Amino acid sequence: MSSRSNPTDAKLLDEAFDELERQTPDRVTRAIRWLRDPQSRKVRIPLGILFIVASFFWFLPVIGLELLPIGLMLIAQDVPLLRKPVGRMMLWLERKWREQREELTRKGAWAGYLLGFALSGFFDGILLHQVLQWHHLLLGVQAEPFRDMRVQILADGLFHVLMYAIALGGLWSLWRGRESPDLLAGRKLMSRVLIGFGAWHVLDAVVSHWLLGIHRIKMDSPNPLAWDLLWFVVFGIVPIVAGLLLGRSHNLRIARAGYAAAASLVLAVLIAGPIAAIPSSDNGQVLVVVRPSDASRLLDGLDAVSGSIMWADRSAAIWVLSIGEGARRKRLYEHGALLVTRSPAVLGCLAWTKTS
The DSSP letter of residue 179 is T
Contact 82, 45 (CB under 8 A): no
Cβ of 217: how many Cβ atoms within 10 Å?
25
Task: Name the nearest CA neighbour of 140 among 232, 217, 227, 200.
Answer: 217
Q: Please state, as a whole number, how many other Cβ atoms lie within 10 Å of the Cβ of residue 197.
A: 26
Interatomic CA distance for residues 29 and 20, integer angstroms: 8
Other beta carbons within 10 Å of 349: 13
3-class DSSP state of 25:
coil
Report all structural domains of the chain as residue ranges with CATH numbers, in order of start.
7-104 (no CATH), 111-275 (no CATH), 282-350 (3.30.70)
The β-bridge relationship of strands 308-312 and 285-290 is unpaired
| pLDDT tens track, the chain, 356 positions | 334 456 677 788 888 888 888 877 888 888 888 988 888 888 998 998 998 888 887 666 666 677 888 888 899 988 888 888 988 888 888 887 777 676 666 667 788 899 999 999 999 988 888 778 888 899 899 888 887 777 888 888 889 899 999 999 988 988 887 777 656 556 778 888 899 999 999 999 999 999 899 999 998 889 999 999 999 999 999 989 888 888 776 655 554 555 566 566 567 766 766 666 555 444 467 888 889 888 889 888 888 888 888 778 778 888 888 887 777 878 888 889 888 877 655 554 544 444 44
Q: Find the helix or strand (DSSP H, E) in which 266 lies.
A: helix 258-275
